[in-house]
């Protein structure tokens, strides 16, 4: 899973303030909320689609076990892909 | 904008150019047997013009109580026998008959911005006779790329300049996504191309008020593009009324959808522009040119985004905050038939921290009573 690339939807507008984030999907006109880790993941994926690279960076920034982080990221990515905000390649 | 005060109707009632065009259209479409609906009537200026054109009856439908003043105005003008006032939203009131003409001014400064068009569609489907007329019956939203350095500097660039020894530049990305509504005197903008239609609404047939438009236009004058100038044209019978700042003055402000940073456009190049907004949603606008692309959205101007979303997202379960609990307390007591005084006392007793005295609780209850109280 971590070896995959995540392409963010060009129809997604991302807004972050005070550590919380919201995505507006222009296609469906729906909103999607992100918590602090979600915000950081989105920012990292905007710069580099490598999920492994994002995971490595997050491990340096948060006090979390790799297995737990991987599990959380997979769950979040499922939500993002279900909402059409990202595709995994 | 609140339309409950007479002052808020001044610019509309005295918008002579607009109202003359409405009057001409009304006179063209009515007969002495016509029944007319003035939808969102305000002080009833257009309905009164219809009544003065000697129609059979005019219904003024308006949610704000200011419409009651129209009774007095109608009386003063000898038109009271033809005017029926229905205070409420068109979805709430009941007209006893079908109408021949529906007059409305629901197009807002940027066509969709007031989110009133669905009420017009509702009125049309429910009350307009077959073969009846709408004024207006068609609307267009146009955009033109403009060079407006002073406006851009004032509304956006200024945030990057130190002020009182403080750096406010974090605000710039929000300011750059806010639609600017300059007065005509403030708007000094050079058009880099002729305006193009990006969205239309055929009021006789439309059933939704989502804006999703794209257009291509050819740049006629080279220069830095600071944004898109937006305006609306509406068709009143066989005449067009435009809010283009180059047209005769009307009460609507021009709108500028900014780009930051500005991008350079060259005469002869073709650019693509787009504009979208779901009903009640955020505006998003973009440009694709040889020198680059920009995409902005009023969504990105909101500082309340995450907090608001946590309450309104379809899968959110926000529960009730403190203010919600107060409102629930008040509404439950109102429904049970308690007096305002009793409710205010109970509310003050229930939360001494939020309501330090009876008066502040009373004001809170009164505000809810005005909004949600019964007795008409």
Q: How far is CA B197 from the centre of its chain?
A: 20
What local confidence, expressed as pLDDT, does residue B161 receive? 96
Residues of A in contact with B170 (CB under 8 A): none
pLDDT over threshold 70, residue B310: no
**Is the minimum CB–CB distance between B282 and chain A shorter than 8 Å?**
yes
Listed in sequence order, the DSSP H helices in chain B are: 7-13, 16-29, 45-52, 69-76, 117-127, 149-155, 172-175, 305-312, 322-335, 340-350, 358-372
Q: Please tell me which residue of chain A has the smallest CA distance to B279.
A: A29
Cα of B59 to nearest chain A Cα, Å:
36
- Select from A17, A29, A30 the Cβ nearest to the Cβ of B306: A17
pLDDT over threshold 60, residue B106: yes
pLDDT over threshold 90, residue B356: no
What local confidence, expressed as pLDDT, does residue A2 receive? 76
**Is the minimum CB–CB distance between B300 and chain A shorter than 8 Å?**
yes
**Is the minimum CB–CB distance between B1 and chain A shorter than 8 Å?**
no
pLDDT in tens, B251-298: 888 899 999 999 999 999 999 999 999 988 899 999 999 999 999 999
Return the CA Rg of chain A.
Answer: 12
What local confidence, expressed as pLDDT, does residue B107 receive? 87
Contact A20 B306 (CB under 8 A): yes
> Whole-angstrom Cα distance, residue B73 to residue B94?
23
Residues of A in contact with B302 (CB under 8 A): 15
- Select from B302, B306, B313 the Cβ nearest to the Cβ of A21: B306
**Is the minimum CB–CB distance between B214 and chain A shorter than 8 Å?**
no
What local confidence, expressed as pLDDT, does residue B1 receive? 57
Q: Can you say whether the dihedral through the CA atoms of B301, B306, B307, B308 is positive or negative?
A: positive
Cα of B50 to nearest chain A Cα, Å:
40
> Whole-angstrom Cα distance, residue B132 to residue B95?
16
pLDDT over threshold 90, residue B314: no
Residues of B in contact with A13 (CB under 8 A): 284, 295, 297, 299-300
Q: How long a stretch of residues is chain A? A: 89
pLDDT in tens, B34-43: 999 999 999 9
pLDDT over threshold 60, residue B11: yes
pLDDT over threshold 80, residue B3: no
- Select from B299, B310, B314 the Cβ nearest to the Cβ of A24: B299
- Select from B295, B299, B313 the Cβ nearest to the Cβ of A15: B299
- The structure tokens 């002020």 sit at B163
> Whole-angstrom Cα distance, residue B364 to residue B357?
11
pLDDT in tens, B166-188: 999 999 999 999 999 998 888 89
What local confidence, expressed as pLDDT, does residue B286 receive? 97
> Whole-angstrom Cα distance, residue B31 to residue B8?
32
Contact B313 A32 (CB under 8 A): yes
Contact A24 B297 (CB under 8 A): yes
**A4 band by pLDDT with thresholds 50, 70 and 90:** confident
* ipTM > 0.85, yes or no: no
What local confidence, expressed as pLDDT, does residue B134 receive? 98
- Select from B300, B302, B310 the Cβ nearest to the Cβ of A33: B310
Count A/B contacts: CB-CB distance under 8 Å: 43
3-state SS, one letter per residue, for B304-370: CHHHHHHHHCCCCCCCCCHHHHHHHHHHHHHHCCCCHHHHHHHHHHHCCCCCCCHHHHHHHHHHHHH
Who's near B22: CB < 8 A, 6+ residues apart?
A: B46, B49, B103, B135, B236
Per cent of chain B over pLDDT 90 is 82
User: For residues A27 and B49, which has the higher predicted lDDT (pLDDT)?
Assistant: B49
3-state DSSP: chain B helix, strand, coil percent, rounded to 5?
35, 30, 40
SS3 B148: coil
Q: Please tell me which residue of chain A has the smallest CA distance to B316.
A: A33
Residue pair B199/B211 in contact by the 8 Å Cβ criterion: yes
SS3 A71: helix
Contact B309 A31 (CB under 8 A): yes
User: For residues B68 and B109, which has the higher predicted lDDT (pLDDT)?
Assistant: B68
Who's near B358: CB < 8 A, 6+ residues apart?
A: B344, B345, B348
- Select from A20, A24, A32 the Cβ nearest to the Cβ of B282: A24
CA nearest to A42, candidates A84, A6, A72: A6
Q: Which residues of A touch B (CB under 8 A)?
A: 13, 15-18, 20-22, 24, 26, 29-34
> Whole-angstrom Cα distance, residue B66 to residue B51?
19
Residue pair A59/A43 in contact by the 8 Å Cβ criterion: no
SS3 B155: helix
> Whole-angstrom Cα distance, residue B376 to residue B353?
34
Residues of B in contact with A26 (CB under 8 A): 276, 284
What local confidence, expressed as pLDDT, does residue B341 receive? 95
What local confidence, expressed as pLDDT, does residue B67 receive? 92
Count CB-CB contacts under 10 A for residue B123.
Answer: 22
User: For residues A27 and B313, which has the higher predicted lDDT (pLDDT)?
Assistant: A27
How far CA B210 is from CA of B213, B242, B347, in Å, comes to 10, 21, 42
Question: Tokens standing for B320?
Answer: 């009730």
């Amino acid at each position: 899973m971590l070896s995959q690339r995540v392409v963010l939807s060009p129809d997604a507008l991302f807004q972050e303030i005070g550590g919380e984030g919201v995505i507006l999907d222009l296609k469906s006109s729906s909103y999607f909320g992100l918590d602090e880790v979600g915000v950081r993941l989105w920012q990292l994926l905007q710069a580099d689609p490598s999920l492994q690279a994002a995971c490595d960076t997050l491990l340096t920034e948060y006090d979390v076990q790799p297995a737990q982080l991987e599990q959380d990221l997979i769950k979040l990515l499922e939500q993002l892909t279900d909402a059409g905000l990202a595709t995994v390649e | 904008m609140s339309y409950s005060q007479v002052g808020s109707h001044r610019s509309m009632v005295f918008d002579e150019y607009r109202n003359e065009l409405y009057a001409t259209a009304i006179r063209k479409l009515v007969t002495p047997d016509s029944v007319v609906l003035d939808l969102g009537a305000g002080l009833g200026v257009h309905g009164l013009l219809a009544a003065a054109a000697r129609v059979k009856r005019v219904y003024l439908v308006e949610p704000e109580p200011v419409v009651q003043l129209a009774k007095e105005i109608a009386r003063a003008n000898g038109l009271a026998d033809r005017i029926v006032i229905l205070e409420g939203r068109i979805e709430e009131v009941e007209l006893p008959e079908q109408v021949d003409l529906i007059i409305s001014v629901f197009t807002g400064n940027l066509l969709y911005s007031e989110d009133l068009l669905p009420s017009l569609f509702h009125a049309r489907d429910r009350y307009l006779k077959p073969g009846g007329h709408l004024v207006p019956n068609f609307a267009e939203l146009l955009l033109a790329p403009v060079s407006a350095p002073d406006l851009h500097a004032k509304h956006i660039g200024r945030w990057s300049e130190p002020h009182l020894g403080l750096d406010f530049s974090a605000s710039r990305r929000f300011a750059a996504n806010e639609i600017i509504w300059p007065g005509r005197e403030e708007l000094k903008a050079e058009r880099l191309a002729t305006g193009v239609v990006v969205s239309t609404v055929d009021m006789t047939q439309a059933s939704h008020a989502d804006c999703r438009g794209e257009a291509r236009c050819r740049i006629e004058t080279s220069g830095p593009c600071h944004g898109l100038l937006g305006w609306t044209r509406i068709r009143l019978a066989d005449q067009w009324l435009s809010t283009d700042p180059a047209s005769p003055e009307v009460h609507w402000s021009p709108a500028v959808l900014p780009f930051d940073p500005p991008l350079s456009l060259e005469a002869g190049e073709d650019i693509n522009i787009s504009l979208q907004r779901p009903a009640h949603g955020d505006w998003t606008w973009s440009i694709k040119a040889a020198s680059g692309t920009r995409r902005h959205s009023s969504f990105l101007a909101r500082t309340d985004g995450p907090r608001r979303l946590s309450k309104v997202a379809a899968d959110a379960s926000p529960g009730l905050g403190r203010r919600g609990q107060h409102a629930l307390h008040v509404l439950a007591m109102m429904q049970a038939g308690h007096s305002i005084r009793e409710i205010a006392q109970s509310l003050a007793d229930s939360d001494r921290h939020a309501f330090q005295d009876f008066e502040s609780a009373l004001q809170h209850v009164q505000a809810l009573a005005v909004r949600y109280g019964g007795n008409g």
